[in-house]
Structure 1
């Protein structure tokens, strides 16, 4: 007995979707994949380093700015509120991984930067993180990874080019 109706040929149904539906479908799959990778990273950071993804993100941001960042700039880089970052920075400071340095001429402002210990701890975590990403996304060739990166960058910067 031949299958007829909506389940007859799922591939044909997908192929015939309007562009907006295909893009929606792509977005949902991309979101699902992103959440899966993020969950794996969270678990591995917890298991292997007894740390969290937000702490890793703060240290990664600080690693890119050797002279340190003001709290507001750090929040901006991470695209989160100052309140979210403050607690993380407090705990990292208690562990000797970051230090707050007074900004000359501004009594209210301080820079946050990684200590030598923080740099060493982050370097270990960053190496593991890169290996995990390599493993989780190993089905993509370097060329595909570059193409997707370029396409996602275009989406990210679209609002900057076309403020509608």
Structure 2
């Protein structure tokens, strides 16, 4: 068997490296998301979509229009409506008609919802630290900045 000298073996193309990166990002995302789903269910009897809705509303203490919430979460109005209905039933979110437009609803966290989300967010942060604790702060900052640049470039072009 004849083997090629090391200097003649080609490195994978940039396209191949980017494909590998995508596969690794996707795999890491799926693994972490799966574990988050399990822990939210186990520890808080909640789902990841409910957590995402609560998180979005937590960032907007004055509330959000349902349509803005859907756009922010990148999901359909129907999906958000079902989640909001259950959160209202559970006393975590309030819903009111927008002044001057009864067709538009503004939703916001109740005091109970804010307390519940704060508990969930603290656990979520601990879990993420557990999953990604081996990533140094500088690596996390660099990767985050790179992904933010990618997102900005991609969104601007599409």
TM-score, length basis structure 2: 0.92
> Which residue of 2 is the match for residue 89 of structure 1?
84
1:148 aligns with 2:143: yes
Alignment match, 1:73: 68
**Gap regions ≥5 residues in structure 1:** none
Which residue number in structure 2 is paired with residue 55 of structure 1?
A: 50
SS at match of 1:140: coil
Partners of 1:54 and 1:104 in 2: CA distance = 28
Aligned residues: 155
Q: Return the offset for 1:80.
A: 0.6
Distance 1:4 1:146 in 2: 45
Q: Which of these residues, 35, 42, 45, is aligned with residue 30 of structure 2?
A: 35
Deviations 1:61-116 (A, max 9, x none): 00000110111000011011101111000000000000002211111111000000
Paired position in structure 2 for 1:99: 94
Q: Which runs of 4+ in 1 moved over 3 A?
A: none
Unaligned runs of 5+ in 2: none
Counterpart Cα distance in 2 of 1:95 and 1:116: 12
Q: Secondary structure at the match of 1:66?
A: coil
Shift of 1:125: 0.1
Q: Give the SS at the match of 1:108.
A: strand
TM-score calculated relative to the size of structure 1: 0.89
CA RMSD of aligned residues (A): 1.9
User: Matches of 2:2 and 2:82 in 1, distance apart?
Assistant: 59
* Residues 1:138 and 2:138 aligned together: no
Counterpart position of 2:40: 45
Corresponding residue of 2:117: 122
Q: Aligned partners of 2:127, 2:95: CA distance in 1, in Å?
A: 31
